[in-house]
C-alpha cells in the first residue's frame, strides 16, 4: 500500500497553557505549528487550547483522539515548571508509547549546542489510529521538534491506519 496522499494527512493542534486558556497570552506556538503542518501537506482540522494540568490535558486529548486517524500535536507543558504536566496527561490517554519520536525531538532541540532538549519531558504515543506528540511551548522549539519527525510521520500514520507498506 502506498504512503498516504497529502490530502489524507490530517492533524490537530492542542496548545496547553494556563495563560492562553485565560486569554492573557497569545497562542504563538499553536499558530506556528498549524502553519508548519499545512506547509508539510497536512490538513489541520482542529485547533484547541487547554489549561495546564493532568486532567485538563487528558480530557481534551480523549476528545481530540476519539475516532480520529491522524496526528495530534501538543505544545506547552513539557518542562519542569510546577504546572508542566502535559506528559502526565498524555500518558493517561495513550495506549502505546513511541519513544523513538520523543528521543529524535530531544536530539533536534539539542542541535544548537545549548542542551535545552534534554530538559523536555515530552512523550509521543498512540491512541487507536491517532498519533500524539508533545512539543515544547516555544514557537521555535515546537516547530524545530516537529520538523525532526515530520519525514517519518506519514509512514507511521499509514501503519496505524492498517497499511502494510513493508
The answer to the question of residue 1 being in a domain is no
Q: Of all residues in the chain, what percent carry a pLDDT higher than 70?
A: 90
Examine residue 17 and state whether it is found in any structural domain, yes or no.
Answer: yes
Question: What pLDDT digit, counting tens, does each position of 108-141 carry?
Answer: 875 555 566 778 899 999 999 999 999 999 999 9
What is the secondary structure of 114-140 as a DSSP string? S-GGGG----EEEETTEEEEEE-SSHH
List the domain range (segments joined by +) for residue 105. Answer: 6-160
Amino acid 119: pLDDT: 81
Whether 23 maps to a domain, the answer reads: yes
Task: Look at residue 166 and tell me if it is in a domain.
Answer: no
Domain annotation covers residue 84: yes
Residue 139 neighbours by CB distance under 10 Å: 18
38 occurs within a structural domain: yes
Q: Is the pLDDT of residue 46 over 70?
A: yes
Q: Rounded to two decimals, what is the model's pTM? A: 0.92
What CATH number did the domain enclosing 104 receive?
A: 3.40.980.10
Residue 106 has pLDDT above 70, yes or no: yes
pLDDT at residue 5, rounded to an integer:
47
Q: What are phi and psi of 142, to 5 degrees?
A: -65, -45
Alpha carbon distance, N-terminus to C-terminus of the chain = 8
* Residue matched to cell numbers 498519533: 131
pLDDT, tens digit, 9 for 90 and up, residues 4-30: 444 589 999 999 999 999 999 999 999
Count: domains in the chain: 1
The answer as to whether 165 is a domain residue is no
Give domain status of residue 128, yes or no. Answer: yes
Beta bridge partners of 72: 12, 132
Amino acid at each position: 500500500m502506498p504512503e498516504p496522499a497529502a490530502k489524507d494527512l490530517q492533524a490537530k493542534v492542542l496548545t496547553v497553557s494556563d495563560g492562553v486558556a485565560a486569554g492573557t497570552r497569545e497562542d504563538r506556538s499553536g499558530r506556528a505549528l498549524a502553519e508548519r503542518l499545512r506547509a508539510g501537506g497536512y490538513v489541520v482540522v482542529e485547533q484547541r487550547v487547554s489549561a495546564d494540568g493532568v486532567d485538563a490535558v487528558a480530557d481534551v486529548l480523549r476528545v481530540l483522539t476519539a475516532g480520529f486517524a491522524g496526528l495530534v500535536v501538543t505544545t506547552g507543558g513539557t518542562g519542569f515548571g510546577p504546572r508542566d504536566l502535559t506528559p502526565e496527561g498524555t500518558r493517561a490517554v495513550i495506549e502505546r508509547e513511541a519513544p523513538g519520536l520523543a528521543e529524535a525531538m530531544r536530539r533536534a532541540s539539542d542541535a544548537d549546542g545549548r542542551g535545552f532538549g534534554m530538559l523536555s519531558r515530552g512523550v509521543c504515543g498512540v491512541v487507536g489510529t491517532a498519533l500524539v506528540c508533545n512539543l515544547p511551548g516555544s514557537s521555535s522549539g515546537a516547530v524545530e521538534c516537529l520538523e525532526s519527525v515530520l519525514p517519518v510521520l506519514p509512514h507511521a500514520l499509514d501503519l496505524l491506519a492498517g497499511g502494510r507498506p513493508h
